[in-house]
Amino acid sequence: MSTKPLDEPARRFEELLGPGSVITDPVRLRTYECDGLTHHRVTPGVVVLPSSAEQVAAVVRICNEYGLPFVARGAGTGLSGGALPRADGVLVVTSKMRRILSVDLPNRRATVEPGVTNLAITEAVRDLGRYYAPDPSSQQVCTIGGNVAENSGGAHCLKYGFTVNHVVGLEIVTPDGDIVELSDTDPGYDLLGAFVGSEGTLGIATKVVVRLSRLPEAVTTLLAAFEDIERGGQAVSAIIGGGIVPAAIEMMDALAVEAAEAAVACAYPEGAGAVLIVELDGPAEEVAHQFGEVTRICRESGAFEIRVADDPAERASIWRGRKSAFAAVGRISPAYIVQDGVVPRTALPEVLASIDALSREYGIRVANVFHAGDGNLHPLVLFDDAEPGAAERAEIVSGRILDLCIEHGGSITGEHGVGVDKSRYMTKMFSDDDLNTMQLVRCAFDPRGLSNPGKIFPTPRLCGEVPGVRKGVHPLVESGQAEHF
Ligand SMILES: Cc1cc2nc3c(=O)[nH]c(=O)nc-3n(C[C@H](O)[C@H](O)[C@H](O)COP(=O)(O)OP(=O)(O)OC[C@H]3O[C@@H](n4cnc5c(N)ncnc54)[C@H](O)[C@@H]3O)c2cc1C
């Protein structure tokens, strides 16, 4: 009888977790073959669904015994292939770990398991006048564990900050299977800060302590329509330059509006070349004053229509188009790439004009949706995968947009992580020395390189190894865990 390398560990996982929590059936395994970035697909060797930190730790220790790579997965909404599994490894899915363990109002915090969705935290505390501030558009489904790993953002991060600003404690399972607590009050190096945004390469978060924010006294949302994106951009600069920090300031171009209209009939003003959504929150008097200023600035910048919402239903209606924008482009294009890059806010007009030029040069439509206040672009690169060469041209446009971001002093990712998709761009942003230093941090947590290997870094190295001429094939390369470029 032939046995596969994963048969024995899979049996051990079943003893530990019970048969319902281990998936080895090839058809069911395919459910987990990709995240939101669907053009990278790998069927995992085994999927496990632990229910507690102790079970995660035991799974990781078994992985260590057999030298198996493991990858954590929350809801699989990531857009950089961060949760892409390994065919020779174990996918640790947190969907059974979704309890809100405690809410501590006096200390403004909640302790939750990693599989809890972002929105569920707010829903659990809204009646207490609190909410969890970072709000990815995927917040109904993405998990807090995934948010921690990606240091996720969202529309309200301009004023309130990213996940890293709202996580005050973590329980993690280290890559060798220990359960360790990290806190923002720990003396010494900021290991909590290092873990947030580490994309599953430093271990698996098994508990997250989040900061709760007080619901603002007043919220006003306005939508301003402009003939073109330049005028909308001028309004953004004038608002921020005028010292106003809105809770959110989001822009969509005409193509993105067309897609949203087709998908959710959001009824944005007709003929808009750009739509700006500005949300103001805080004490009622301050919001009223800022609202006057923002309206004036939008009109002076050329807004031809302004709509205002100050009750939750009207607000939801304004946000509906923006929040559905990524998925909505599926209505106007058979395939698309969601890109994520950052530029200094002042470079937005120039970069958007260059994206437009690229779009014409390659005959590939690009719809722009962006967190304008942060300079965080989300160009949606549209193509028809049935058209010969279109996917390749879209890939080139998508890569050249990242080049533009780097040239303008920005970054190759704002909030979606590097994952497997953008690791090849890391050498464009960072020197060998920079990357080696990052690898040293990784090696301090994960000396054997078992925790989500192949993500972030273009060429994984072993701990303590310096770049140089290697004789023979590196064991990591031989086992398919690393690649030489
Ligand atoms: C329609 C749509 C809209 C989106 N909008 C936004 C947005 O506005 N802002 C934004 O920032 N992102 C956005 N995203 C991207 C995505 O939702 C976020 O990156 C989110 O944080 C991923 O969470 P997840 O639970 O789906 O993680 P997954 O995709 O399952 O995993 C993401 C990464 O986290 C790691 N990971 C997961 N759980 C753990 C854990 N417990 N411990 C350690 N590592 C772990 C994985 O290994 C992987 O590297 C959007 C995605 C979609 C599809």
Amino acid at 466: V
Count Cβ atoms below 10 Å from residue 416 Cβ, excluding itself. 27
Q: Would you place residue 39 in the very low, low, confident or very high pLDDT band (cuts 50, 70, 90)?
A: confident
Q: How close is the Cα of 143 to the center of ligand 1, in Å?
A: 7
- Provide φ and ψ at 183, rounded to 5°: -140, 155
Which DSSP symbol is given to 86? -
Q: How close is the Cα of 74 to the center of ligand 1, in Å?
A: 7
Task: Give residue-wise pLDDT tens across range 196-214.
Answer: 999 999 999 999 999 999 9
pLDDT reading at 54 higher than 70: yes
Pocket lining: 199 vs ligand 1, CB cutoff 6 Å: yes
Strand partners, 369: 252, 378
Of 105-109, 152-156, 458-462, minimum mean pLDDT range: 458-462
Pocket lining: 149 vs ligand 1, CB cutoff 6 Å: yes
Specify the 3-state DSSP secondary structure of 26: helix
Average pLDDT over residues 151-158: 94
Q: How close is the Cα of 449 to the center of ligand 1, in Å?
A: 21
Count Cβ atoms below 10 Å from residue 217 Cβ, excluding itself. 12
CB 336 within 8 A of CB 329: yes
Buried b (16+ CB within 10 A) or exposed e, 116-148: bbbbbbbebbeeeebbbbbbbbbbeebbbbbbb
- Quote the CA–CA distance of 418 and 56 in Å, as a whole number: 25
**What six digits make up the tokens of 248?**
């959110």
Smallest CA-to-CA distance from 243 within 286, 303, 306 is with 286
Q: Hey, whose CA ends up nearest to atom 23 of ligand 1?
A: 146
CB 457 within 8 A of CB 420: no
Cα torsion angle, 422, 76, 321, 382, sign: positive
Task: Give residue-wise pLDDT tens across range 71-84.
Answer: 999 999 999 999 99
Average pLDDT over residues 382-397: 95
Average pLDDT over residues 61-88: 98
* Cα 274 versus chain centre, distance: 25
Pocket lining: 281 vs ligand 1, CB cutoff 6 Å: no
Q: How close is the Cα of 134 to the center of ligand 1, in Å?
A: 13
pLDDT reading at 409 higher than 90: yes
Amino acid at 317: S
Pocket lining: 73 vs ligand 1, CB cutoff 6 Å: yes
Q: How close is the Cα of 146 to the center of ligand 1, in Å?
A: 4
Sequence-distant (6+) residues with CB within 8 A of 190 are 184
Pocket lining: 152 vs ligand 1, CB cutoff 6 Å: yes
- Quote the CA–CA distance of 317 and 309 in Å, as a whole number: 9
Specify the 3-state DSSP secondary structure of 154: coil
Q: Which of 41, 60, 79 has the most ligand 1 atoms within 8 A of CB, as the residue to mutate?
A: 79
* Cα 115 versus chain centre, distance: 15
Ligand 1 atom closest to Cα of residue 145: 41
pLDDT reading at 235 higher than 90: yes
Average pLDDT value over all residues in the chain: 93
- Provide φ and ψ at 252, rounded to 5°: -135, 140
**Helices H / strands E in the chain, number of each:** 17, 19
| Per-residue confidence (pLDDT) for residue 471, from 0 to 100 | 47
Ligand 1 atom closest to Cα of residue 73: 30
CA 179-180-181 angle, 5° bins: 135
Q: Would you place residue 459 in the very low, low, confident or very high pLDDT band (cuts 50, 70, 90)?
A: confident
Count Cβ atoms below 10 Å from residue 411 Cβ, excluding itself. 16
What's the pTM? 0.92
- Quote the CA–CA distance of 12 and 400 in Å, as a whole number: 47
Pocket lining: 50 vs ligand 1, CB cutoff 6 Å: no
pLDDT reading at 485 higher than 80: no
Task: Give the ranges where 189-251 is alpha helix by DSSP (H).
Answer: 191-195, 229-241
Task: Give residue-wise pLDDT tens across range 2-11.
Answer: 577 899 999 9
Q: What is the edge-to-edge ordering of all strands in the sheet holding 70-73?
A: 22-23, 46-48, 90-93, 70-73
Task: Give residue-wise pLDDT tens across range 9-25.
Answer: 999 999 999 989 999 99
CA 292-294-299 angle, 5° bins: 95
Q: Which of 142, 207, 326 has the most ligand 1 atoms within 8 A of CB, as the residue to mutate?
A: 142
Q: Hey, whose CA ends up nearest to atom 27 of ligand 1?
A: 146
Q: How close is the Cα of 262 to the center of ligand 1, in Å?
A: 26
Q: How close is the Cα of 310 to the center of ligand 1, in Å?
A: 30
Pocket lining: 137 vs ligand 1, CB cutoff 6 Å: yes
pLDDT reading at 476 higher than 90: no
- Quote the CA–CA distance of 155 and 372 in Å, as a whole number: 9
Q: Hey, whose CA ends up nearest to atom 18 of ligand 1?
A: 78
Average pLDDT over residues 399-416: 95
Q: Would you place residue 345 in the very low, low, confident or very high pLDDT band (cuts 50, 70, 90)?
A: confident
Buried b (16+ CB within 10 A) or exposed e, 269-278: beebbbbbbb
Residue % of the chain over a pLDDT of 90: 85
pLDDT reading at 469 higher than 50: no
Task: Give residue-wise pLDDT tens across range 348-361.
Answer: 889 999 999 999 99
Q: How close is the Cα of 78 to the center of ligand 1, in Å?
A: 4
- Rounded to whole angstroms, what are the CA distances from 81 to 107, 162, 456? 36, 20, 10
* Cα 179 versus chain centre, distance: 25
CB 413 within 8 A of CB 455: no
Ligand 1 atom closest to Cα of residue 163: 11
- Quote the CA–CA distance of 206 and 246 in Å, as a whole number: 34
H-run or E-run covering 313: helix 312-323
Q: Hey, whose CA ends up nearest to atom 53 of ligand 1?
A: 77
Place of tokens 């909308």: 232
Smallest CA-to-CA distance from 113 within 156, 170, 73 is with 170
- Quote the CA–CA distance of 332 and 428 in Å, as a whole number: 33
- Rounded to whole angstroms, what are the CA distances from 19 to 11, 14, 23, 341, 354? 9, 5, 8, 42, 54
